[in-house]
């Protein structure tokens, strides 16, 4: 019997960010391994014209939850969606709901965040710092609370090269930042943002670091742990391999590359690609929840959920396997044939941007105009290149994260728990994982049918022929222009033609003799 699964039985669990990528997998695993849990409270806001109930209904009826329905048929009754918006200081939770949360909650998993790299500092602070502070305040009023698990990111200290499982303070206190956001106007915030974030690349990593400081400062008597995952990718094993449902991290780039839009990137092939499957993060999170509640460590423990120091893979190998999978199972209706140029050189990368990205987009828009349609490719390409430029920081550097606490926890688990809540990335086969990841992107994100693969392959062949035809035509035009202008080019041309003629006559002569 799994001790961790047994621990969650009968518990009332509060999850923030349950509608997000990680939150859904966390809920799924909890219901599947501990179907006897009492209730999962989730803080949800209405979104995209859907009420909170409709959103929950959609999640529970998705493919991800199919196995759960077999083990826990009354899952609908065990999930309690609470209307909440973390942008409001009191989360806009009703009095009755708040009362229920305060009196019943046993465990909190705080996953909600804004993960946009370029979010306005005011909004990023509200979500990643103030909301964390508010939740801690709520937690301090929960008499039955056993553990508070805060999800941060391994990149909260990406300005350092070696990162230990400790909290590194930011120069300005989070309380001062929270206060200043209340009275500074947007223009001034824009001006001071670069100074505040310092050598971090974006407001996301900065506010996640502030969020950790808040957790440390406001922990009081709470039993708290922090988890820092690196780049979270599709599922490795559970509930099935390759599941992914958003464009964050590598997923969006895999689509852009598979559809032939993205053909080069400024990346260092030998830099460590610190990817971690989402089910691994969730397994560690649940194990940490159990350990924190049962063993009650004296101080707040931080757990790095990373792969680089235990089972490293680099971007070059990853890109190679992504392309190999495109060969086997290409994406439908590609714009161009997938290809990859990795260059760490800025000038080469700008050259490839012009030749491989901007020029084809301009030519395609010209074709759309000629055929009476609205040009759109240049706009799409500009947005893609902007996104890529924001991710470049992470594919040109390597970090070392120590994993003492994570390894200590692994050794504390029973063999059964090590199996059911496996977070040992040393067992991960990267090539297999990446192949499943790309297939998962095709299946679950693009919703493409595997039966369409032969047609997709045909389409790529047509694109290859168009590519050869286009290059030949381009070469002939360029050559014709050159011959018209340069005596030397003409001489070279006559030399090649006479050489070919002699070559052919040589072969024709013996064959004539035979006859
Ligand atoms: C070596 C490769 C070689 C490839 C060469 C060739 C290929 C060969 C194969 C190679 C592939 C394999 C290797 C890949 C390397 C991956 C490195 C990843 C590093 C990640 C590190 C993460 C570390 C930190 C981890 C964490 O701790 S946190 C979680 C991470 N957080 C994020 O990943 C949020 C990012 N996003 C935003 O920050 C916002 O999205 C924003 C970007 C501001 C736009 O923002 P905006 O322009 O306002 O508008 P949106 O609506 O948001 O998006 C506008 C449009 O871009 C789309 N789109 C949004 N996203 C992405 C995305 N990712 N990728 C692509 N597209 C995206 C969206 O669909 C929309 O398309 P549309 O609808 O226009 O058609
Ligand atoms: N994905 C990754 O690569 C990594 C993620 N992390 C961390 O993991 C955690 C989960 O990330 P992930 O699941 O990928 O992110 P998602 O963007 O998929 O999910 C974010 C969640 O936060 C919720 N949320 C955002 N704003 C509000 C709000 N105002 N009120 C209520 N809920 C809100 C979202 O709700 P809604 O659906 O309504 O928008 C969603 O459920 C985050 O703390 C992130 O920093 C750490 C490392 C890497």
Residues 436 and 494 in one domain: no
Residues 237 and 366 in one domain: yes
Residues 395 and 490 in one domain: no
Residues 382 and 400 in one domain: yes
Say whether pLDDT at 494 is over 90: no
Return d(Cα 158, Cα 77) in angstroms, integer.
42
Mutate which of 41, 62, 92, 111 for ligand 2 pocket (most atoms within 8 A of beta carbon): 111
Residues 396 and 490 in one domain: no
Residues 373 and 270 in one domain: yes
Q: Residue 347: inside a domain, yes or no?
A: yes
> What ligand 1 atom has the least distance to the C-alpha of 250?
16
> What ligand 1 atom has the least distance to the C-alpha of 254?
11
Summarised one tens digit per residue, pLDDT across range 313-359 is 999 999 999 999 999 999 999 999 998 889 888 899 999 999 999 99
Residues 408 and 388 in one domain: yes
Q: Which three-class secondary structure string do you get for 40-78? A: EEEEECCECCECHHHHHHHHHCCHHHHHHHHHCCCHHHH
Residues 349 and 443 in one domain: yes
| Final residue in a domain of this structure, among 401, 427, 448 | 448
Say whether pLDDT at 215 is over 60: yes
- 3-class secondary structure, 228: strand
Mutate which of 200, 209, 248, 396 for ligand 1 pocket (most atoms within 8 A of beta carbon): 248
Summarised one tens digit per residue, pLDDT across range 438-463 is 999 999 999 999 999 999 999 999 99
Q: By residue range, what is the domain housing residue 400? A: 232-286+305-448
Residues 372 and 495 in one domain: no
| Final residue in a domain of this structure, among 423, 448, 473 | 448
Q: Tell me, in angstroms, the distance from the centre of ligand 2 to residue 291's CA.
A: 24
Tokens matching residue 354: 């012009």
Q: Residue 428: inside a domain, yes or no?
A: yes
Mutate which of 111, 249, 334, 379 for ligand 1 pocket (most atoms within 8 A of beta carbon): 249
Which ligand sits closest to the CA of 113?
A: 2
Q: Residue 264: inside a domain, yes or no?
A: yes
Which ligand sits closest to the CA of 379?
A: 1
Across the range 155-169, mean pLDDT stands at 97
pLDDT the model gives residue 510: 62
Alpha-carbon distances of 425 from 15, 72, 283, 410, 430, rounded to whole Å: 25, 29, 11, 11, 10
Return d(Cα 306, Cα 230) in angstroms, integer.
5
Handedness of CA 164, 150, 30, 222 (dihedral sign): positive
434 Cβ closer than 6 Å to some ligand 1 atom: no
pLDDT band at 515; cut points 50, 70, 90 = very low
Q: Tell me, in angstroms, the distance from the centre of ligand 2 to residue 19's CA.
A: 8
Across the range 57-68, mean pLDDT stands at 96
Residues 385 and 265 in one domain: yes
Q: Residue 478: inside a domain, yes or no?
A: yes
Q: Residue 76: inside a domain, yes or no?
A: no
Which ligand sits closest to the CA of 269?
A: 1
Residues 367 and 282 in one domain: yes
Q: Residue 370: inside a domain, yes or no?
A: yes
Say whether pLDDT at 164 is over 70: yes
Across the range 37-61, mean pLDDT stands at 96
Q: Residue 113: inside a domain, yes or no?
A: no
Summarised one tens digit per residue, pLDDT across range 221-269 is 999 999 999 999 999 999 999 999 999 999 999 999 999 999 999 999 9
Residues 475 and 437 in one domain: no
> Is the overall model pTM greater than 0.80, yes or no?
yes
Q: How many domains does the chain have?
A: 2
Q: Tell me, in angstroms, the distance from the centre of ligand 1 to residue 64's CA.
A: 23
The percentage of the chain sitting over the pLDDT mark of 90, rounded to a whole number, equals 88
| Final residue in a domain of this structure, among 448, 466, 496 | 448
Q: Tell me, in angstroms, the distance from the centre of ligand 2 to residue 477's CA.
A: 53
Q: Residue 268: inside a domain, yes or no?
A: yes
pLDDT band at 286; cut points 50, 70, 90 = very high
């Amino acid at each position: 019997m799994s001790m961790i699964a047994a621990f969650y039985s009968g518990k009332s669990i509060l999850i923030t960010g349950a509608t997000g990528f990680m939150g859904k997998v966390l809920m799924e695993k909890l219901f599947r391994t501990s179907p006897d849990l009492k209730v999962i409270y989730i803080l949800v806001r209405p979104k995209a014209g859907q009420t909170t109930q409709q959103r929950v209904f959609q999640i529970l009826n998705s493919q991800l939850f199919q196995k759960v329905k077999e083990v826990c048929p009354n899952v609908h009754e065990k999930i309690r969606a609470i209307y909440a918006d973390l942008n409001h200081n009191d989360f806009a939770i009703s009095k009755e709901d708040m009362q229920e949360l305060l009196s019943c909650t046993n465990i909190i998993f705080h996953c909600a965040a804004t993960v946009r790299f370029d979010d306005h500092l005011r909004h990023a602070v509200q979500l990643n710092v103030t909301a964390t502070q508010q939740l801690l305040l709520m937690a301090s009023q929960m008499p039955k609370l056993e553990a508070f698990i805060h999800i941060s990111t391994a990149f909260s200290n990406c300005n350092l090269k070696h990162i230990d499982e400790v909290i590194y303070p930011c120069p300005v206190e989070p309380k001062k930042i929270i206060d200043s956001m209340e009275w500074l106007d947007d223009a001034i915030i824009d001006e001071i943002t670069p100074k505040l974030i310092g050598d971090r690349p974006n407001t996301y990593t900065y506010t996640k670091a502030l969020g950790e400081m808040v957790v440390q400062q406001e922990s009081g008597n709470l039993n708290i742990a922090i988890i820092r995952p690196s780049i979270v990718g599709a599922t490795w094993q559970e509930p099935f391999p390759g599941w992914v449902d958003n464009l964050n991290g590598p997923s969006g780039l895999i689509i852009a590359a598979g559809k032939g839009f993205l053909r080069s990137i400024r990346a260092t092939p030998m830099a460590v690609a610190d990817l971690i499957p989402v089910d691994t993060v969730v397994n560690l999170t649940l194990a940490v929840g159990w350990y924190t509640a049962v063993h009650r460590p004296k101080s707040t423990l931080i757990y790095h959920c990373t792969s680089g120091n235990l089972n490293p893979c680099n971007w070059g190998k990853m890109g190679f396997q992504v392309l190999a999978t495109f060969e086997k199972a290409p994406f439908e209706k590609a714009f161009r044939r997938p290809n990859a140029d990795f260059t760490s050189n800025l000038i080469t990368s700008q050259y490839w941007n012009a030749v491989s990205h901007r020029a084809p987009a301009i030519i395609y828009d010209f074709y759309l105009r000629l055929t009476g349609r609205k040009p759109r490719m240049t706009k799409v390409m500009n947005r893609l290149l902007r996104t890529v430029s924001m991710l470049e920081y992470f594919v040109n550097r390597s970090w070392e994260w120590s994993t003492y606490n994570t390894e200590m926890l692994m050794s504390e688990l029973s063999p059964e728990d090590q199996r059911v809540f496996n977070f040992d990335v040393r067992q991960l086969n990267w090539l297999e994982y990446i192949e499943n990841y790309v297939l998962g992107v095709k299946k679950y994100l693009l919703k493409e049918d595997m039966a369409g693969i032969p047609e997709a392959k045909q389409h790529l062949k047509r694109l290859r022929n168009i590519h050869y035809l286009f290059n030949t035509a381009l070469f002939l035009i360029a050559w014709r222009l050159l011959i018209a202008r340069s005596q030397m080019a003409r001489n070279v041309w006559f030399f090649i033609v006479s050489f070919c003629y002699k070559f052919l006559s040589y072969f024709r002569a013996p064959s004539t003799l035979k006859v």
